[in-house]
Structure 1
Amino acid sequence: MYHTVSYAFRSDDVSIMTVDSVGWQNVSHPKYRCLSSARPDCGHVVFQYTLSGRGYLDIGGRTFALPKGHALMVKVSEEHCYYYREGSAEPWEFVWINIRGDEANRIWDLILEKEGHVIRRAPDSPLIQELWDIIRLIDQEKVTDRYRLSVQAYRWLLTLMQSSRDAEKDIGALSVTTIEKCKRFIREHYASPLTLDLLAEHCGINKHYLCRLFQRSEQTTPLAYLKDRRIEAALTMLRTTELPVSRIGQKCGFESPSYFGKVFRQYMSMSPTEYRLNKLEYPYDAIYYE
């Protein structure tokens, strides 16, 4: 697909969230202005990502530039205007998607609270690539069914939420590698008597720095992550083996049966033995705390 395209979909069915319009556009005329007060789609949300050139967004008494790699995120119900400015050096090229539905508005509120009305993403990021996938699906495969497009919209919104969480971390590639190294070591050695000093030594960094990285990346501590993995292993063993409870606690790295019981109760509000017997309310072979 090597040409600009745009598609709109109209339906009286408001029972599902779906795509209202989507496309790829190149504008170079100052008459291009999208003013919220002039739009009929008042319950919708709009994402518009700059591929080249520059656009502008006026919202909340401020003006935001939208250079390459930046996207505006607005709710049509908010007072705003985005536009191409006369005298710009090059056309404003962008891709956009307009989505209607309560769930889209809910997710928009979450992202706006974290990142504001202008976000930054790489052109090869999953978020932008999946937006291109939606455009290709319509342009090349001629998909127009609103239910199938709804699936694509939900998938794209989940990618948006994940990318916002990842952007919030923003700790750099080397730090991400360090965190993954630490997590992998914990998953492989949760039964061992691990300490914060030992984890930091394995990662080759100061333990205080490790804690800061872990908190920013995972919103938890290394030792809390370790405890989660130990409880996950214990839950599985309680349901898939006939080992004594005390032995399960030992195999999962808990220093004593009483400590195992105390921690287990914090997670499950019952003892390990009660969980083993309570298969009607908790019929799971495994529970995960990721």
Structure 2
Amino acid sequence: MRRRAVFAVLAAGAALGGLTVPAAQADETVGDIRITNVVVNGGKSIVVDAADKTITVSMTATDPSGIWDADFYLWRGPDGTDPYDNADGYIVPNEDTTPADCVASSATTSTCSKTFTFEPDAWLTNADAGTWKVGVQAFANDDSRAERWAYTTTRLQRHSKLTVNASPEPIAKGGTLTITGKLTRANWDTLDYRGYTNQPVKLQYRKAGTTTYTTVKTVYSSSTGDLKTTATASEDVYWRWNFAGTSTTPAATATGDVVDVQ
């Protein structure tokens, strides 16, 4: 049976990444400490296929006494939600040690980081895809501290794939080409890829010897993610499908399939 332990919402006073958190309270700053930057997964969306994916979250903070520690948590819920008591979902870092991995750039400023692992075979489900808030805590050597419930947000997405095939080939000039393909995305419930239904996908082409693609038409994927349309063969061109992506699924572009027109 698949477990879902990471999503147990922490009660007041529960351990959070090796730190003891006080009773739930709003954003606060005690002392001169300042959080100046938070970066999730290098600034990119978190895209997970059917295997585990580990990403890093880092935070830069500054205080006259220097930075001692930091912690992070990812959570889902409406604005105004208390992440400790009322979050729809809650993920803590892999590391439960104190202090965090902090690298000082000066006597007052450090960048601290921890990692998170997303496990489709353990707790991740399709319903978890979407926007997550990033909560952070920073601690200085003089006991100054700061917490932001939602300093920034990140997207957790289901990896997508897109294929293309143009046939027949070779084909006589003026003949009718059939261009097919399939749009699929990771299914975290079944640990494989399934068709992405009813999505707009652009059919594009570029002439041999050029690099720019032109959109011909938009086709919607079928109930199984399949794509199919026709076009007139006029000259040697590369055909591809291009999917713009959604909030839960990243963009995907098929590798161009060249057709020899005779």
> Same fold by TM (over 0.5)?
no
The structure with the greater share of residues assigned to strand is 2
Structure scoring higher RCO (CA < 8 A, sep ≥ 6) equals 2
Q: TM-score range by the shorter chain?
A: under 0.3
TM-score (norm 2): 0.27
State the TM-score, normalizing by the size of structure 1. Answer: 0.25
> If each structure's helix is expressed as a fraction of its own residues, which one has the higher value?
1
